[in-house]
Amino acid sequence: MIGILSFLGFTILVGVIAYLATRTTDETSSDGYFLGGRSLTAGVIAGSLLLTNLSTEQIVGLNGSAYKDGLSVMAWETLAAIAMVITAIFLLPRYLKEGLTTVPQFLARRFDVATKTITSGLFLTGYVVVLLPVILYSGSVAISGMFDVPTLLGVGDSTALVICIWGIGIIGSIYAVFGGLKAVAVSDSINAVGLIIGGIMIPVFGLMAIGDGSVLEGLNTLVSANPERFDSTGNPGQEVPFSTIFTGIMLIQLFYWGTNQQIIQRALGAKNLAEGQKGLLLASFLKILGPLILVLPGMIAYYYFEGSLASSDLAYPELVRAVLPKPLVGFFAAVLFGAILSSFNSVLNSSVTLFGIDIYKQHINTEAPERTVVKYGKIFGVCLALAAMLIAPLIANAGSLFNYLQEINGIYSIPIFTIIVIGYATKRVPAIAAKIGIFSGSILYIISQFFIGPNLKESALEAAKASGITDPGQLNLIEAEAYPHYIHIMAILFVLNMVLMLIIGKIWPRSEPFELEYTKKVDIKPYRYVNQVGIAVCVIVIGIYIYFAK
């Protein structure tokens, strides 16, 4: 009962503060609703970026990956810091100079409206079919398990899961659809504090559990027992091979932190360029600490449970249940609930923005006043949320959620990132090149990952078993080496698409070179120390890899 009361108390507190902070914002205009009135400051941007990024599919999924592979999976966290630095220095100044509300708006100006519409459609499809349902499903599993909802309500596991999915979906929709970006960003910032405190508690209590009450003794025990698991370079056949750092991982990170609407929308709402850059740089510093919350608990769980869990995705929830004092369960559940809501309502708010600005205003009602655009954006958001809530229970057997998300997102992430890079790096590559780049990148990736790759891996496994190989570890390695890792495939297709678009640009160039226009919506004077702070972040990340490399 104490846990439920503390959960409700913290959750209601966040809602009240978000309401008080946003009640004076004019949300009948596009800038007011979609970008928080272009008034976000560095602290709010940093907190919202981190909370938008963190949710149960990452907290549970990445710790599950660390349970299997050890420290090498930290690449998903530490390299994000470098991607944020690049975004702050190179991409954000261009976005704010143009006064963008959505990233696809740039594509309309650089190429044509059709390119923008195709890109917005890809984003929305990815959000509703993959990202939103996965967030709802994984969050519901965590909340249902933490409060033992089946027993509490006297229902079956499946019914409890559906109840949690709809509960999270409805509350998240209220924040995102009816509160706009500022409500999302403010609630994110409050939850960020709770998540950092709650997230750090788990490894602290975990280390104390294996170190007879001492955190340092627990850390020494963990390192001494399995020193090979603290190798930042990992081993072949793991989820994140070290070689992928030099190929596709940075592309994934740059797409996510620099061009993905759900993330970059926070920086687009900055009151000026300096605040946006400071927000990104602050988030990058905090992201370096991410492995403490998203990797270390999984490694502790491997030692604590002696690698005996039935599924790696059980590592985090089982560790929480085993080491966290009962009075703190309610607070931690509230923090986790905040992270779930943050990711859900952030994606939903970005979807509403993409539909309202890039589809409704562009193609359905070109003369619509801003109040009408916001109104129909909200209606679309409600429909999108309902669709996600209906789809979420269907992905119960999706397997490793974190890896599943990364691989599926490659269908649209790298093609979109390719055309944005070409758009800014060149001035005469035409619109037809962008359209060909998007479709060729998506189609080739689908063929590679869902037809060619699985067939070659299956053939390799059959040949290995026929030759008498039965060791699971050796079979996994044979399967991994039978076809390039999907992250390598992303890098290969990125280069191929770049070359293809450049060739088309050489043969059929634009008649007039593209020039960025300064719309003067915000001050674009950069933060004076952006380069120095950015270099410091990159040096820290490289130093971490060198220190842990064996």
Decide which of 139 and 93 is more confident: 93
CA distance 371 to 29: 6
Rounded to the nearest integer, the mean pLDDT of the chain is: 84
Q: Please choose, from the candidates 261, 320, 267, the residue with its C-alpha nearest in 3D space to the C-alpha of residue 107.
A: 261
Find where tokens 């602050």 sit: 282
pLDDT at 10: 57
> Which candidate, 221, 242, 222, 238, places its Cα nearest to that of 230?
222
Give which of 178, 383, 190, 354 is closest to 264, Cα–Cα.
354
pLDDT tens-digit profile of 354-391? 788 778 888 888 887 877 877 787 788 888 888 888 98
Q: What is the pLDDT of residues 128-156, one digit of tens each?
A: 878 888 888 878 877 777 777 888 888 88
177-212 burial, b if ≥16 CB within 10 A, otherwise e? bebbbbbbbbbbbbbbebbbebbebbbbbbbbbbbe
d(CA 488, CA 198): 35
209-231: per-residue pLDDT in tens?
A: 999 999 999 999 999 999 999 99
Provide the pLDDT confidence category of residue 33 given band limits of 50, 70 and 90: very low
pLDDT at 321: 80
Element (H, E) at 498: helix 486-507
**Residues 6 or more apart whose Cβ sits within 8 Å of residue 23:** none
Instruction: Name the least confident of 61-70, 258-267, 407-416, 527-536.
Output: 258-267
pTM above 0.85, yes or no: no
Give the span between the Cα atoms of 140 and 336, in whole angstroms: 11
- Residue 75 phi/psi, 5-degree rounding, is -55, -35
Q: What is the tens place of the pLDDT at every residue in 307-352? A: 888 778 778 878 988 898 877 877 777 777 777 777 777 777 777 7
Quick one: average pLDDT of 483-487?
Answer: 91
Q: What is the mean pLDDT of residues 250-263?
A: 88
Q: Domains plus CATH for the chain?
A: 2-16+30-406 (1.20.1730.10)
Instruction: Give 168-206 pLDDT, tens digit per residue.
Output: 888 777 765 555 445 555 666 666 677 778 888 999 999
pLDDT, position 191: 67
Contact assessment for residue 60 and residue 316, using Cβ atoms and an 8 Å cutoff = yes
Tokens for 384, please give them.
């999108």
Distance CA 207, CA 195 (A): 19
Position 522: which residue type?
Answer: V
- Distance, CA of 378 to CA of 383 (rounded, Å): 9
The first and second tokens of residue 443, run together, are: 């189609």
Residues 220 and 213: their CA atoms lie apart, in Å, by: 13
Q: What is the average per-residue pLDDT within 463-477?
A: 80
Which residue would you say has higher pLDDT here, 11 or 465? 465
- How many Å apart are CA 233 and CA 243, to the nearest integer? 9
* CA dihedral of residues 198, 204, 209, 215 (deg, nearest 10): -170
Question: What dihedral do alpha carbons 307, 312, 316, 322 form, nearest 10°?
Answer: -40
Hey, what are 309's tokens? 């869990």
Amino acid present at 171:
I
Q: Confirm if 343 and 185 have CB atoms less than 8 A apart.
A: no
- The pLDDT assigned to 17 comes to 59
Q: DSSP code of 527?
A: P
Residues 6+ apart with CB under 8 A from 15: 187
The share of the chain scoring above pLDDT 90, in percent, equals: 37
